[in-house]
Structure 1
């Protein structure tokens, strides 16, 4: 099935009608407009790796809803199967050479990407919330490996694709983001029953999972040190090496903490603010990496991305702001010292997993934003280690 078939009025009408069975949808015409795919890392990496055209496609859809004329600009997201993405990432590991090539292969389907084709559809279908984009249709065709999301075009928004502009992330935007994600975390504690758990199985972070992948964490860290030695200094790397050798110790604490459905890609590449709202409202998209972990994990990532060096000193204040928001909503985070200790341990996990994977790709095709973000991340470890008693130093 060619991607062009997805743009036909009849196909779009069926998508929309299936998604809104309570309404009568009739699509008259579908036009196209250009959408920049460069901000989507998975789309970029998967380009050319499958017979389908993968990525985001802009559609101008004219339709009637209950006989009322409507026109909306939408984006069709055509997703690769997780097998394709996992195979592509194995190819990146092989391009990095030994020892990563041999170390990576046994864990190729355990790094969190194997079910990316279906997790996002599950979240949009079953956990729709105000911070997500408006969804017009979803399609899951396993026989033909077709997985589609038809969503609103994110226009008239602020801070879209602002990963290279951390200076634009003012205190107002940062606090609004932390409040919104705290609300999400509080609402989705302990695995929402509506989700199909088979898509969150072997690769959900746990003590057992982290120990099983211990050889991979070592390989990814060695690869990162080799490719970015000015940031992966001996002092910075020491904390992550301590983490690898002490997974059992710090996960003994993490295992006891409440888990929630985290976005797991919570950064300016996947978020914007709808400027027509007053005040502007966070919109968070690209949920394919969503998984279960302590809620602190998302905040580790977010603050690493949005804080430039001159604002590093504000990090602990933002962490405390988030803790208070989450505690207000759940009543479970009143112990500030414990919260920061868990935050530090979540940050160790983040550095081993997410930045290890990022660096594997960065060494082949550099991401301009990544050195700055990793530098900010290591400042997180430095600040929290001082507060929590020099853990891992």
Structure 2
């Protein structure tokens, strides 16, 4: 909101501290702006920049804006100035950009790298001179051509780094546009060429002051013929900035394994995009080089306004035998490694990271931009050709507008009804809500949901909440509002990840995702927190209320904040978790039909579904084995592939064993231990299965690769005892079944489904826990194989 100003001359507000580069002046301006606009502007309070050092970079400095910087690459360069593997810092807020550039870099590197070369470096300024008539303009053109040495001398008076390389007169009637072309070494050169051109113009007007037949009537320093900060055909042909090219050769095998396409498909579809570019009148032809240009410009302090012209490119592909040869030309890359924003601290550090800071770095930087632009164009074109582009950028469609929860909505008005109902206190009144220190991450399911739907609030939001009960008793508590994505958003998020894994995993997920149990994840967890059975509530964090609002698509659990004590996963610690979850298993053991009849679990995958979906599990394993042979070598891949193919034989046996309510994601990321108390979070994947399913995941996540048969036997005995202790009915069911067989079947299920999904996702989103999980899982499998039982 802008404050209304008083009328009359001199009444308008003036920004304070004009021309002052001090912290006091910055704060004065910031305070003035708050009063002027009514905005709090709290994010501008702190800045890492020193106002004193910003002379020449910005005026009326009030603060700085952070842009996320991600690392793309590494990309192998075999260029002229750029050689070796390079990682590029990309400053961007566009999801999938860094991932796509990295994928292209991986393909290019695997095929031998990218060859790069700077062809020329030019910067232009084009003043316009208005002459008396056409004849005078023509005479002035000839006069300029005869005085080239004098023009060069004038440039030398201004800068020792700037060299005049060409003078191009363009007469239009009585107007003479003169395009002065300079070389500016490692500077982008706009300021240098402006100063040099102004010196030439001053000399010209002084020299011709007495020449009535030649003296211009009027002079404008820039007549728009230079194409400054504009995409023009003239600049594309003649060059403005650095003219740089990059080329690579991709093998068919690399294209199949990394880009998930073929040389023939790329070339065929490239032809159609060239036709489209010609139809629309595009200067040059490219895919999205401007993305790399903009991201590197912001990260390294380049003139961002030059992205428009610098992003012009000519991208080409052709098939050579079994290989694809791809080339890109950036004819107008306006970059520098000295001057301007390149001296700012963060930008200077990132230029140093690239080996491009200061004098001598300009050519290398230009080649790096071209190399990564080629990598991104290849990856993006491959995504378009194979259908991955739409899947990676998909957003769930809705037939209506949704008033989603936003950050500021977690306030007293929203929380009071939840607390009142959750604590059964109609007179409760919330008096204060404020954010608390953040938690570590939002969990994999939350991240996947946010990937598919970024427009609304989700994740874990710690809050300090104060309220008065109906009898006036004040209470304050540290709570966490878990705002859940919808299950279909999690499914779509997984689809987006798998779309980058290639057409086979993506198509298999599209077909079989309904049997994976993610669809109704948001409702399941809310239903769990509504339960009142002591066996379950004793394992959950205390719930202060839930919100299930389909109109707003708002699904929130308000729970206590409990932190883990950080202790190692000893046998005693594992036993404590097994006893806690065992009580839940024992309460519902053999009552699976009763649970399903309640309806809140909705679609629960059955063993026959697991067998039918072997196409999905096999596709995930093949992709993981191809992408991560160090993690999933041939022997391990054969085990997982065999399990998936034989699921029709062993999966039905799961249904014959006693089943119960299981957490279905029981790992240390979802567990907090505080002394004797065990708390288990994140029940969105809760389902009906054999109770040993939770045992398998806990052991695979905690025992480690050196697990022994005794570790397994001990854990199973502790778990069976805890389940049986719940009731005589549970004890009879435990005694009447082969408990060890249930564990073996659950291990097969876990490795076929969850482990395969983790492995495929790991190629796009690194899971730090996965290498150890894989090693331990296969160790548990090895122990079962050694027993020799079916």
TM over 0.5: yes
Q: 1:120 to 1:144 in 2, by over 3 A?
A: same
- Mapped pair 1:134 → 2:539: no
Partner of 1:123: 528
Per-residue Cα deviation, 1:220-267 (whole angstroms, up to 9, x for no partner) = 221222233234333333333332222232123212111111101101
Q: 1:131 to 1:92 in 2, by over 3 A?
A: same
Unpaired runs of 5+ residues, structure 2, are 1-403
**Distance of aligned partners of 1:93 and 1:221 in 2 relative to their CA distance in 1, 3 Å threshold:** same
| 1:306 corresponding residue in structure 2 | 702
Partners of 2:442 and 2:460 within 8 A in 1: no
Question: Taking structure 1 as reference, are residues 356 and 80 closer, same or farther at Cα in structure 2, changes over 3 Å only?
Answer: same
C-alpha separation in 2, matches of 1:192 and 1:106: 27
Larger Rg, first or second structure (1 or 2): 2
CA contact (8 A) 2:450 2:458 kept: yes
1:281 alignment partner in structure 2: 677
2:576 counterpart residue number: 176
Instruction: Give the structure 2 partner of residue 165 of structure 1.
Output: none
Does structure 2 conserve the Cα–Cα contact (< 8 Å) formed by 1:340 and 1:388? no
* 1:5 shift after superposition: 4.2
**Residues 158 and 274 in structure 1, CA contact (< 8 A), matched pair in contact too:** yes
Unaligned runs of 5+ in 1: 163-167
**How far off its partner does 1:177 sit?**
0.7
| 2:541 counterpart SS class | coil
Q: Which residue does 2:70 correspond to in 1?
A: none
Match of 1:96, SS state, is coil
What is the aligned partner in structure 2 of residue 113 from structure 1? Answer: 518
Q: Which of residues 292, 315, 319 is equivalent to 2:688? A: 292
The 3 A distance-change label for structure 1 pair 45 and 255 is closer
Is 2:749 the partner of 1:345? Answer: no
How far 1:194 sits from its partner (Å)? 6.7
- Which residue number in structure 2 is paired with residue 322 of structure 1? 719
Q: Structure 1's 52 and 111: CA in aligned 2 closer, same or farther, altered over 3 A?
A: same
**1:56 equivalent in alignment to 2:460:** yes
CA distance 1:53–1:136, shift in 2 (3 Å): same
Q: Are 1:373 and 2:779 an aligned pair?
A: no
Q: CA deviation at 1:388?
A: 4.4
Report the Cα offset of residue 294 of structure 1.
0.4
Q: Where do residues 69-80 of structure 1 align in structure 2 (5 Å cutoff)?
A: 69-80=474-485
Q: Secondary structure at the match of 1:47?
A: helix
In the alignment, the residues of structure 1 paired with residue 550 and residue 612 of structure 2 have an alpha-carbon distance, to the nearest angstrom, of 30
Indicate whether 1:200 and 2:601 are aligned.
yes
Checking the alignment, whether the CA contact within 8 Å between 1:86 and 1:108 is kept in structure 2 is yes
The Cα shift of 1:97 comes to: 0.7
Range 295-304 or range 104-113, more displaced: 104-113
Partner of 2:298: none
Deviation at 1:192, TM superposition (A): 7.6
- 1:15 aligns to 2:418 (yes or no): yes
**What is the rounded CA distance, in whole Å, between the counterparts of 1:324 and 1:194 in structure 2?**
23
Q: TM-score, normalised by structure 2?
A: 0.46
- Matched residues in 2 for 1:7 and 1:29: separation? 11
Retained in 1: the 8 A contact 2:516–2:605? Answer: no
Query: Which stretch has the larger CA shift, 100-109 or 33-42?
Result: 33-42
TM (norm. structure 1) is 0.89
Q: Secondary structure at the match of 1:133?
A: coil
**For each residue in 1:77-114, what CA deviation from the matched residue of structure 2 results, as whole angstroms up to 9, or x when unmatched?**
11111121111111111111132122221123332211
Native 8 Å contact 1:257 1:294 kept in 2: yes
Residues 4, 38 of structure 1: alpha-carbon distance in 2 compared, 3 angstrom cutoff: closer
SS in 2 for 1:292: strand
Q: Which residue of 1 aligns with 2:764?
A: 364
- Aligned mates of 1:248, 1:192 — CA distance in 2: 23
Distance 1:252 1:310, change over 3 A: closer
> Would you say the 8 A contact 2:643–2:748 is kept in 1?
yes
Q: Is the counterpart of residue 158 in structure 1 residue 565 in structure 2?
A: yes
366-375 or 246-255, larger mean C-alpha shift: 246-255
Kept in 2: contact 1:304–1:373 (CA 8 A): yes
C-alpha contact (below 8 Å) 1:122/1:195 kept by paired residues: no
Any idea what the Cα deviations from partners look like across 1:27-47, whole Å, max 9, x if unmatched?
A: 111111132242511222333
Q: Which of 263, 269, 282 is 2:663 aligned to?
A: 263
Structure-1 residue corresponding to 2:116: none
Alignment deviations for residues 293-313 of structure 1 (CA, whole Å, 9 cap, x no partner) = 100111000001111234445
Aligned to 1:104: 509
Q: Does 1:232 align with 2:632?
A: yes
C-alpha displacement of 1:315? 2.6
CA distance in 2 between partners of 1:137 and 1:195 (Å): 24
DSSP 3-state at the match of 2:764: coil
1:20-75 per-position Cα deviation (integer Å, ceiling 9, x unaligned): 33563111111111322425112223335231121111111111123211100101
Q: Distance in 2 between matches of 1:333 and 1:238?
A: 33
CA RMSD between the two structures: 2.2
Kindly indicate whether the alpha-carbon contact (under 8 Å) linking 1:141 and 1:147 is maintained by their aligned counterparts in 2.
Answer: yes
